[in-house]
Amino acid sequence: MFSKAAEHGIKAIIYIATQSMEGKRVKIGEVSEHTATPEAFTAKVLGTLTKYKILQSIKGPYGGFQMSERQIEDVKVADIVKALDGDQIFTGCALGLSACNHLNPCPMHERFVAIRSELKSMMESTTIHDLATGLIAGESVLMRTEQ
């Protein structure tokens, strides 16, 4: 559903938030390891999210990525997706048609409008704090575990 950039970005931000809540900064290698994402691609994604002020990047030997308490509480999943992918997921056609709209609908238009609206609402109301606290409580995971 999400682009690879958005997937990696959301997972990375959740991990960084959990560490920031404990007063820790994390290096890119640690983020990559704990989210099972490629390091170079994750670095690029986090650079974009830093530019959008979704997280902070501190340079130097004691540097790393972190989020302020306010960022953790205020940043929504929609903010991450918009920063990395734009708003196409909220406005685009289910079939990828550029001319799809209510006057010229694709075969899935009417059904997809409702789904897209619900998805947007969920992503705009879900904070990183919500997701990070669920992870800390053991209610969710960021990596697939072997069974």
Q: Which domain holds residue 84?
A: 4-136
Whether residue 125 is contained in a domain is answered as yes
In a domain? residue 146: no
Please give the average per-residue pLDDT across 80-86, as a whole number. Answer: 95
Query: What's the CA gap between 114 and 121, in Å, rounded?
Result: 11
In-domain check, residue 130: yes
Provide the pLDDT confidence category of residue 99 given band limits of 50, 70 and 90: confident
Report the DSSP beta bridge partners of residue 56: 66
CATH of the domain at 75: 1.10.10.10
Predicted pLDDT at 128 = 97
pLDDT for res 144: 73
**Cβ atoms of residues 31 and 143 within 8 Å:** no
Residue 117 located in a structural domain: yes
Q: Is residue 115 a part of any domain in this protein? A: yes
Q: Is the pLDDT of residue 146 over 70?
A: no
Q: Is 111 contained in some domain?
A: yes
User: 3-62, pLDDT tens digit by residue?
Assistant: 999 999 999 999 999 999 999 999 999 999 999 999 999 999 999 999 999 999 999 888
Give the model's confidence band at 145: pLDDT under 50 very low, under 70 low, under 90 confident, else very high.
low
Asked whether residue 143 is domain-assigned, the answer is no
Structurally, the chain folds into a number of domains equal to: 1
Q: Which residue(s) pair with 66 in the sheet? A: 56
> Distance between CA atoms of 133 and 43, rounded to whole angstroms?
24
Residue matched to tokens 């990596």: 143
In a domain, 147, yes or no: no
What's the CA angle centered on 119, arms 20 and 143, to 5 degrees? 45
Instruction: Give the tens place of pLDDT for each residue, 55-76.
Output: 999 998 889 999 999 999 999 9
> What pTM was estimated for this model as a whole?
0.90
